Amino acid sequence: MSAIAHPHDHSHGEAHEHHGPPRGITRWLYTTNHKDIGTMYLVFSCIMFFAGGSMAMMIRAELFEPGLQLFNPQFFNSLTTIHGLVMIFGAIMPAFVGLANWLIPMQIGAADMAFPRLNNWSFWLLVPASVLLISGFFVPGGAIASGWTLYPPLSIQQGISMDMSILAIHMMGASSIMGSINIITTILNMRAPGMTLMKMPMFVWAWLITAYLLIAVMPVLAGAITMLLFDRHFGTSFFNAAGGGDPTMFLHIFWFFGHPEVYIMILPAFGIVSQIIPAFARKPLFGYASMVYATASIAILSFIVWGHHMFTVGMPAAGNLFFMYATILIAVPTGVKVFNWISTMWRGSMTFETPMLFAIGFIFLFTIGGFSGLVLALAPVDITLHNTYYVVAHFHYVLVSGALFAIIGAVYFWLPKWTGNMYNETLGKWHFWLSMIGFNVLFFPQHFLGLAGMPRRIPDYALQFAEWNMISSIGAFIFGFTQLIFLYNVITTIRSGKPAEQKPWEGADSLEWTHLPTPAPYHTFEVQPVIK
């Protein structure tokens, strides 16, 4: 089990002129190395996370008090819209793709991704796309202000920035599809001998399922926004009742994409947590097979629940009921996953380093998000709470304390492997606890605002919402500035962290820990290991 089980990786490499990477900017422009591309994805998503986060801070600053203090309502609407798009397509999804790039080849014993050049393209498409999306703020009419869901006819009314955003989303979608094809091919064709599907680490499993979801639904989004573009400029009437269309149809097509999209942002997080928990409990993952089946059934069910975003559009009762049942059903496999994690912890020998803290934070808060999801699944209750802050609280519980916490946990967990240096544990713990406090002060009161009837996407509100909003804003500033600790911790780890041990986590058992040195060399597994 010694980590340097394959020292010939080194000698072998040098013989074939595989030293390190080339120097300078061209290394990053032309690189086809999965680790470089993974790093670029992670850096990119970090930049987008802080960009989207700044918008969130601006939103919460305006909402600190009733009345309009800082921004006009149009600009505020642009902020909420671009915040959503940037966080989804710029921060969360690229972060997961970055992790996939770094980890999947190492975890299945492959030398690189299946299509290295495609990998490079799919990353570099993201950069112009995000520039296009954000530069909407600087064109006449300002950035799109229709909400990230782009419902027509409001999205038809938008200015030139809507066309820019549609193009940007097309590019991001193409990038995701290319990334997914790469990931599926890598996982299915490039596994080391003996690495059967049911031996793969959960992160790889989760990503395999996610990648299938991506190639199934990103084209649907592309179709929907293409129709929008045609309605805007080429006189078609997909969503215009006067020409025989129906705005409701956009909602159906959009959410047919939109709901699986939600799982695209959470399944890889499930995979990460399923690897962190056993590592720190020093005990194998409980119910590996049922985890795989639960993930797959969540993915399949995610295709038939889209209507729960539309309980208030006026579907016939039977439609509402069907989507209510399907949504309730999806809680079962999700529950199974939570029970499995807790059983993994049960009678373990746990320690609580930062990655473990974020994983436990994930389980705790994601489950609360699951509870509010269950409340919203009941159609009559959803009708009372639809488009209120309750929904805002719900999806931030699943996407911030869900997806984001898992990503942060993953970064702490694998940073030693990537850089060879150990992060500062004290700062990591500060980061976790301040995030935990800030997050809950930020989002928990939003449940109450929603129950009291405060609609989302408003820059100004009635006086009875003032107290909770102020508390929520204070939480937002705590949470926002806490993330600078993370940035500082990561940067100092890379530049001057203490050298990490070969295997800093006692219970970690996937190939990158057991078969590779720390830090992972530039080229790994050029000769595939044989898994017994």
Judged by CB under 8 A, the chain residues 481 through 510 that form the site for another protein are 507
Please, what is the minimum distance in Å from the beta carbon of residue 193 to another protein? 5
Which residues fall within 8 angstroms of residue 338, CB to CB, at 6 or more apart?
363, 366, 367, 370
Residue 219 in the binding site for another protein (CB under 8 A): yes
Give the residue with the Cβ less far from another protein, 45 or 320.
320
Q: Are 218 and 175 in contact (CB under 8 A)?
A: no
Measured from the CB atom, the residue of 366 and 486 that comes closer to another protein is 366
Instruction: Judge contact between 144 and 78, C-beta under 8 A.
Output: yes
Measure Cα distances from 514 to 32, 81, 174 in Å.
Answer: 25, 44, 35
Contact 471, 494 (CB under 8 A): no
Subset of 93-122 contacting another protein (CB under 8 A) = 114-115
| CA 402/CA 454 separation, integer angstroms | 24
Task: Write the DSSP symbol of residue 499.
Answer: E
Which of the residues 130, 146, 176, 482 is marked catalytic? 176
Residue choice 141, 420, 480, 519 for contact with another protein (CB under 8 A): 141
Task: Kindly indicate which of the ranges 49-57, 357-365, 393-401, 485-493 contains the residues binding another protein, using the contact rule CB under 8 A.
Answer: 357-365
**CA within 13 Å, CB half, 225:** 22
DSSP for 265-279, please give it: TTHHHHHHHHHHHHH
Distance CA 472, CA 65 (A): 11
Which member of 216, 427, 434, 494 binds another protein (CB under 8 A)?
Answer: 216
Cβ-based nearer residue to another protein, 10 or 232: 232
Q: Closer CB to another protein, residue 352 or residue 522?
A: 352
Do 207 and 188 form a contact (C-beta atoms < 8 A)?
no
Contacts of 95 (CB under 8 A, 6+ apart): 41, 42, 45, 46, 49, 407
Q: Pick the closest to residue 119 from 107, 111, 130 (CA basis).
A: 111
Nearer to another protein, 98 or 529 (CB): 529
Nearer Cβ to another protein (133/345): 345
Near another protein by CB under 8 A: residue from 4, 7, 117, 312: 312
Q: Minimum CB separation from another protein for residue 145, in Å?
A: 7
Out of 43, 188, 197, 491, which residue is the one contacting another protein (CB under 8 A)? 188
Binding part of the chain for another protein, among 5-13, 96-104, 374-382, 486-494 by CB under 8 A, reads 374-382
Among 325, 433, 481, 488, interactor with another protein by CB under 8 A: 325
Q: Give me the least distance between CB of 367 and another protein, in Å please.
A: 7
In whole angstroms, give the CA distance from residue 370 to residue 386.
16
Q: Give catalytic residues, as residue numbers.
A: 83, 112, 148, 175-176, 259, 261, 263, 274, 308-309, 334, 337, 456
